[in-house]
Structure 1
Amino acid sequence: MTDFTRLLHANGPNPEHAAALQLYGRFVGDWDAGITAHGLDGTKHTAPGEIHFGWVLEGRAVQDVWIIPRPAGSPAFPVAGNWYGTTLRVYDPSISAWRISWFDPGRSVFRQQIGRPRGNDIVQEGTTESGELTRWSFTEITADSFHWLGEAKPATASDWRLVVDVRATRRKA
């Protein structure tokens, strides 16, 4: 393991906020995903993908990598585009919530959100550079699966629009 990898990676949650860190910490591991992109015209496009979560920064954060579609070099995925990005999720005790940054340099997509538990779900909300609202939710969470919803709402719209949904299952060792 390189020094950088060794210094970034952590073996588990930092004890200082261990309980709060489990909101996303429960996803640590490798996941296979089925992705559905929803077009404005009602069309649906599906593709396989993969997601990997890990502890980082002395166990004070969870970082993940989303790769959609798989394998690399696949043609552009309609509606959502190809993803090869990472999310850094950092618990901020001063607001009792998570500060979330998504980076997808291949598509020049960068998002900032605040994530909180909402009932049994996790909801992340933010705003794009153009003022569009974003809401990304983890629902139907079990030890071995989750459903992720990526929704958008233009500032002038009254309803949220489902853009992408992901059904993920944990890889067996």
Structure 2
Amino acid sequence: MTGLARLLHADGPNPEHAAALQLYGRFVGDWDAEITAHGADGTEHTAPGEIRFGWVLEGRAVQDVWIIPRPADGPAFPVAGNWYGTTLRIYDPTISAWRISWFDPGRCVFRQQIGRPRGEDIVQEGTTEAGDLTRWSFTEITTDSFHWLGEVKPAAEADWRLVVDVRARRRKG
């Protein structure tokens, strides 16, 4: 490992906040995923994907890459589009929560959220540029699996709408 990758990568959590860092640190590793996009009209589309989590920035953050690849020369994944983006999750002890930044340059989607534990789950909340509320949740978390829900609540609507759900399984070996 050389250059930027060597400086970015960390071997584990920084000892200063090691316990708090495990909220997302427990996901470090490689995951296979089944992604289901939910259209506003009730349609569902499912595709395979992958997720990679790792320690970065002297172990003070967790970074992950989420990928929904489309087949070569195939159409884009309906509703959610194809993902090739990264999340930087940084624990902020001044608010006892995580500052979350998602970047997907291929779709020009950029999100800022605050993540916290909620019971056994992790809930991240934020607002889009258009003023819609976002809620991304990790639920049903085990050592080898999790369920991720991506929801939106447009400013003019009363209810949350599920847009994407992901069932992830840790890769073996």
Structure 1 residues 112, 72: CA separation in 2 closer, same or farther (over 3 Å shift)?
A: farther
- SS in structure 2 opposite 1:54? strand
Task: State the match for 1:122 in structure 2.
Answer: 122
Task: State the match for 1:150 in structure 2.
Answer: 150
Task: State the match for 2:99 in structure 1.
Answer: 99
Structure 1 residues 166, 97: CA separation in 2 closer, same or farther (over 3 Å shift)?
A: same
Cα deviation, residue 70, structure 1? 5.3
Structure 1 residues 118, 53: CA separation in 2 closer, same or farther (over 3 Å shift)?
A: same
Q: In the aligned structure 2, how far is the partner of 1:71 from the partner of 1:167?
A: 20
Task: State the match for 2:48 in structure 1.
Answer: 48
Structure 1 residues 74, 100: CA separation in 2 closer, same or farther (over 3 Å shift)?
A: farther
Task: State the match for 2:32 in structure 1.
Answer: 32
Unaligned runs of 5+ in 2: none
Cα deviation, residue 3, structure 1? 1.8
Native 8 Å contact 1:148 1:166 kept in 2 = yes
Task: State the match for 1:9 in structure 2.
Answer: 9
Cα deviation, residue 91, structure 1? 0.1
Native 8 Å contact 2:90 2:99 kept in 1 = yes
- SS in structure 2 opposite 1:10? coil
- After superposition, give the CA deviation of every residue in 1:52-92 in whole Å (9 maximum; x if it has no partner): 00000000000000001355764200000000000000000
Native 8 Å contact 1:50 1:70 kept in 2 = no
TM-score where L is the length of structure 2: 0.98
Native 8 Å contact 1:149 1:165 kept in 2 = yes
Structure 1 residues 101, 35: CA separation in 2 closer, same or farther (over 3 Å shift)?
A: same
- SS in structure 2 opposite 1:88? strand
Q: In the aligned structure 1, how far is the partner of 2:82 from the partner of 2:73?
A: 9
Cα deviation, residue 172, structure 1? 0.1
Q: In the aligned structure 1, how far is the partner of 2:85 from the partner of 2:138?
A: 18
Q: CA RMSD in A?
A: 1.0
**Number of paired residues?**
173
Q: In the aligned structure 2, how far is the partner of 1:2 from the partner of 1:135?
A: 37
Q: In the aligned structure 1, how far is the partner of 2:14 from the partner of 2:72?
A: 34
Structure 2 residue identity aligned to 1:4: L
Native 8 Å contact 2:70 2:77 kept in 1 = no
Structure 1 residue identity aligned to 2:59: G
TM-score where L is the length of structure 1: 0.98
Q: In the aligned structure 2, how far is the partner of 1:169 from the partner of 1:138?
A: 13
